[in-house]
């Protein structure tokens, strides 16, 4: 966990049983070829506690992955058909960044250790800033926990990508680069949706967005993935361990057998190099499976 992704500090819940449904998953699919790639931080940019090193060769079989994060419209189709209620809806609140708050009278309290995060009653995937805030259909669905992402996957006949698959897809065949396009951020600030300004009080919005951007914003990577870095953190299947890379198998690794937190990838609109440079291909963080925030979403994958 880091300052951008507060844990809900709730008791861990079991993974929901598969939700019946038609599995109408409408997101464009990207085919990723079988390959061996160098996984991990080759630039020594990461926080040691995140466990981005050592760089190690990983073989992944061919798979398909969503071109975008799962959108509000996609998640609504699932929730409408199944009647599914997310962890945030069941608990009655979720974590909202203070500048995204729309309903001050619904604040239940500040998140411990990260006072810029507020526990807001009625905040969920349909109302990201609070009860009066209506989510835009073409934005990523946020306030979804790992449990919620798993439930969506069960309905859609999909799965969450492994951490290795996620990084492979983000790198798009370009080895050891910091970002999907290269090693440097463009000076105009228009390559990805991250924080510009002084965190946590002033976001200049130079990239055009204060919170989430529509999922098809900026330029996709060489494989055709939109915004694998920036915009929202994305849940992957693996349990988190900061020492896993030192013991990871070379063939199709799937993470530790157990743990207390799940890996999230890609960073979000709150990341800034002054404190949280996790908007990189190699960057990783984690959160508990029932945690939900206004900057965590997911995309899905499938075997080919």
Residue 122: which CATH number?
3.90.1580.10
Q: Is residue 8 part of a domain?
A: no
Contacts for 61 with CB less than 8 Å, ≥ 6 apart:
34, 252, 303, 304
pLDDT of 15 strictly over 70: no
> What pLDDT, in 10s, does the model give residues 52-110?
999 999 999 999 999 999 999 999 999 999 999 999 999 999 999 999 999 999 999 99
C-alpha 256/C-alpha 14 separation (Å) is 18
The boundaries of the domain holding residue 92 are 35-303
Tens-digit pLDDT profile for residues 270-295: 998 887 899 999 999 999 999 999 99
Distance of CA 91 to CAs 11, 145, 154, 201, Å? 11, 12, 22, 28
* Mean pLDDT rounded to a whole number for the chain: 93
Q: What's the rounded mean pLDDT across residues 145-168?
A: 97
> Does some domain include residue 29?
no
**Bridge partners, residue 203, by sequence:** 197
Q: Is the pLDDT of residue 219 over 50?
A: yes
Q: Is residue 30 part of a domain?
A: no
Give the residue carrying structure tokens 């990523």: 140
**Sheet harboring 114-121: ordered strands across?**
93-97, 114-121, 107-111
Contacts 24+ apart (CB under 8 A), 168-171: 168/32, 168/35, 168/37, 168/39, 168/58, 168/60, 169/30, 169/32, 169/65, 169/223, 169/225, 169/228, 170/221, 170/225, 170/228, 170/229, 170/265, 170/266, 170/281, 171/37, 171/281
Confidence (pLDDT) at 189: 66
Q: Could you give the C-alpha distances from 49 to 52, 53, 256, in angstroms and in order?
A: 8, 10, 16
pLDDT of 224 > 60? The answer is yes
Question: What is the count of structural domains for the chain?
Answer: 1
Q: Is residue 23 part of a domain?
A: no
In a domain, 238, yes or no: yes
Indicate whether 1 belongs to any domain. no
Residue percentage of the chain with pLDDT more than 90: 87
64 falls within a domain: yes
Per-residue pLDDT at 35 exceeds 60: yes
pTM of the model: 0.94
**Residue 181 in this model has a pLDDT that exceeds 70:** yes
Tell me what the mean pLDDT of segment 148-163 comes to: 97
Q: What is the pLDDT of residue 180?
A: 95
Q: Are 298 and 235 in contact (CB under 8 A)?
A: yes
Residue 296 within a domain: yes
pLDDT level of residue 226 (50, 70, 90 thresholds): very high
193 vs 12, 207, 216, CA distance in Å?
A: 31, 6, 12
Measured between alpha carbons, how far is 181 from 108 in angstroms, rounded to an integer? 41
Question: 173 with 35: CB under 8 angstroms?
Answer: yes
Backbone angles phi, psi at 97, to 5 degrees: -65, 140
């Amino acid at each position: 966990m880091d300052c951008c992704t507060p844990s809900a500090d709730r008791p861990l819940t079991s993974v929901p049983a598969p939700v019946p449904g038609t599995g109408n998953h409408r997101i464009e699919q990207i085919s990723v070829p079988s390959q061996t790639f160098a996984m991990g931080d080759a630039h020594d940019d990461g926080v040691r506690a995140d466990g981005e090193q050592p760089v190690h060769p990983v073989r992944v079989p061919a798979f398909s992955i969503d071109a975008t994060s799962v959108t509000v419209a996609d998640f609504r189709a699932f929730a409408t058909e199944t009647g599914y209620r997310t962890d945030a809806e069941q608990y009655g609140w979720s974590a909202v960044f203070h500048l995204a708050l729309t309903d001050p009278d619904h604040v239940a309290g500040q998140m411990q250790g990260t006072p810029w995060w507020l526990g807001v009653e009625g905040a969920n995937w349909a109302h990201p800033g609070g009860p009066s805030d209506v989510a835009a259909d073409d934005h990523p669905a946020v306030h979804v926990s790992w449990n919620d992402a798993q439930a969506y996957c069960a309905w859609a006949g999909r799965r969450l990508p492994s951490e290795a698959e996620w990084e492979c897809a983000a790198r798009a065949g370009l080895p050891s680069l910091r970002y999907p396009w290269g090693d440097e951020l463009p000076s105009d600030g228009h390559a990805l949706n991250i924080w510009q300004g002084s965190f946590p009080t002033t976001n200049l919005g130079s990239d055009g967005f204060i919170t989430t951007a529509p999922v098809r914003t900026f330029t996709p990577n060489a494989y055709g993935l939109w915004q694998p870095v920036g915009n929202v953190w994305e849940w992957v299947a693996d349990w988190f361990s900061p020492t896993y890379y030192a013991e990871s198998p070379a063939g199709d690794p799937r993470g530790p057998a157990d743990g207390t937190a799940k890996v999230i990838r890609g960073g979000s609109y709150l990341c800034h190099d002054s404190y949280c440079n996790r908007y990189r291909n190699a960057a990783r963080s984690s959160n508990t499976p029932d945690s939900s925030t206004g900057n965590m979403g997911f995309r899905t994958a499938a075997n080919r």
